[in-house]
Structure 1
Amino acid sequence: MSTEQASTNFRYTDPERDAVYRAIGERRDMRHFTSDPVAPEVLQRLLIAAHQAPSVGYMQPWRFIRAIDPELRQRIHATVDDERRRTGEALGERHEEFMRLKVEGIRECGELLVVCLTQGREEYVFGRRTMPEMDLASAACAIQNMWLAARAEGLGMGWVSMFDPDELAGVLGLPAGALPVAVLCLGHVPAFYDEPMLAQEGWAERLDLDSLVGVDRWPEGAESSPGAGTS
């Protein structure tokens, strides 16, 4: 059997393949939500998708906290808003431009999830001996799985990273060594953005792919895109 034939045997059908690429292309970092609840069976599918993510050394470092209590949501929002203001101050001349941006939907979204790294991560050496940050990379894969699955379900999701980890850990009562890495706003949306919101707002532009890919050496011509947040 040729390599081409073997590849064809494992290939999805055209509609299935196109759906995967469509979800990737239409995924957005959402900040505008309706208050409609997320169906429990849909939330369960999204959590399963996240839990099926790859992880270095199969450590599965992710833990999820559903923030249901309105008072807890408000405390999470306050923590995020404090950091939003500090970030604005740190941006100098872009302060006012940044402060006009909507950076989260914590109080509006149907579901609020906090993704944390579990305690005891130092015990996992496989794949982390020289790169201990791979626990965070693994958790990011779980978040991306959920993000794509949410888009396929017609739900929006936004990744909020503006918070002091120690402060949020205290708000959530995390065990020693556990670390919050993402606040995820999940829920129904009035519409999906045609393009990443930060691009729509003129905050930054998507870099040209050709400038980011090098052959046998570092790609030349790539420039960092200043900005904040995910897209």
Structure 2
Amino acid sequence: MNSQLDRPSRFSEAERLAVYRAIAGRRDVRRGFLDRPLEEELLGRLLAAAHSAPSVGLMQPSRLIVVRDYNIRKKVHEVFETANRKAAASYSDERANLYSGLKLEGILEAPQNLCVLCDAGSGRGHGLGRQTMPETALYSTVCAIQNLWLAARSEGVGVGWVSILDPAPLYELLRIPDHLTLVAYLCLGYVESFAAEPDLERFGWETRMELKSVVSYDRYAEEPGR
């Protein structure tokens, strides 16, 4: 029987491989950004990918701020520097030395940044799916970020997530209303290249877990695969 008739919605082999390639090749990029802003059409495609993400109750809670102004990015970088000094002080000995050598942001190098917010209290979706798990609004915004990240990788665009930031000064700097939740601050731009491995793995900060160590069947197991 014709497999295309059996599975009419299945992608072609080349399309499927492209999806898995984007997933495997996605990197948290912190270095090597090119001084070349993204074209409006391309940026629009990436933002549309985020906006098309699944969301609980079709509430679409994500709100996006494209940050291009260098002076604003410079102030965001200062917020990072303050938070980074505090984070560095929490480590000692070899781990402290390792931390000090990590490149953890590209706020000024990337020609555009993206602040991703969540309107978790939005009435859109009429509360469907949120009565028992209200946090799914935030999860929906995380899905939007992943959508954008994979689309960006397929376009040769690097994305770096900067989590070493104190939200309070960002709210003031970017004039974010209090009812919105800061989920991510991303660096976004063309890059020289994509690393074969994640930076944190390449530089010895952490090792990747094997799939079998995190998958249980029927009931949770403390040590799956053993």
Corresponding pairs, count: 221
Q: CA 1:96–1:121 in 2, change beyond 3 Å: closer, same or farther? A: farther
Pairs within 5 Å for 1:49-198? 49-93=49-93, 94-118=95-119, 120-121=121-122, 125-198=127-200
The Cα of 1:12 is off from its aligned counterpart by 0.5
Amino acid paired to 2:55: S
Q: Classify the secondary structure of the residue corresponding to 2:17.
A: helix
Q: Does the 8 Å CA contact 1:169/1:179 hold for their aligned counterparts?
A: no
The Cα of 1:51 is off from its aligned counterpart by 0.4
Q: Does the 8 Å CA contact 1:88/1:96 hold for their aligned counterparts?
A: no
- Normalized against structure 1, the TM-score is what? 0.89
Matches of 2:5 and 2:91, distance apart in 1: 52
Q: Does the 8 Å CA contact 2:68/2:111 hold for their aligned counterparts?
A: no
Q: Does the 8 Å CA contact 2:120/2:137 hold for their aligned counterparts?
A: no
Aligned position for 1:219: 221
Amino acid paired to 1:56: V
Give the gaps of 5 or more residues in structure 1: 223-231
Q: Classify the secondary structure of the residue corresponding to 2:127.
A: coil
The Cα of 1:101 is off from its aligned counterpart by 0.3
The Cα of 1:177 is off from its aligned counterpart by 1.2
Q: Classify the secondary structure of the residue corresponding to 1:24.
A: helix
RMSD between aligned alpha carbons?
2.0
The Cα of 1:87 is off from its aligned counterpart by 1.7
Q: CA 1:7–1:72 in 2, change beyond 3 Å: closer, same or farther? A: farther
The Cα of 1:129 is off from its aligned counterpart by 2.0
Q: CA 1:162–1:8 in 2, change beyond 3 Å: closer, same or farther? A: same
The Cα of 1:20 is off from its aligned counterpart by 0.6
Aligned position for 2:43: 43
Q: Which moved more, 1:111-120 or 1:16-25?
A: 111-120
Q: Does the 8 Å CA contact 2:113/2:185 hold for their aligned counterparts?
A: yes
Q: Does the 8 Å CA contact 1:165/1:181 hold for their aligned counterparts?
A: no
Q: CA 1:7–1:83 in 2, change beyond 3 Å: closer, same or farther? A: farther
Aligned position for 1:8: 7
The Cα of 1:81 is off from its aligned counterpart by 1.8
Q: Which moved more, 1:168-177 or 1:98-107?
A: 168-177
Q: CA 1:216–1:72 in 2, change beyond 3 Å: closer, same or farther? A: same
The Cα of 1:110 is off from its aligned counterpart by 2.3
Give the gaps of 5 or more residues in structure 2: none
- Normalized against structure 2, the TM-score is what? 0.90
Matches of 1:81 and 1:216, distance apart in 2: 46
Instruction: Please give the per-residue CA displacement for 1:78-125, whole angstroms capped at 9, x wherever unaligned.
Output: 112221222222234422311210001000012211111126348863
Q: Classify the secondary structure of the residue corresponding to 2:194.
A: coil
Q: CA 1:204–1:187 in 2, change beyond 3 Å: closer, same or farther? A: same
Identity between Structure 1 and Structure 2 (%)? 45
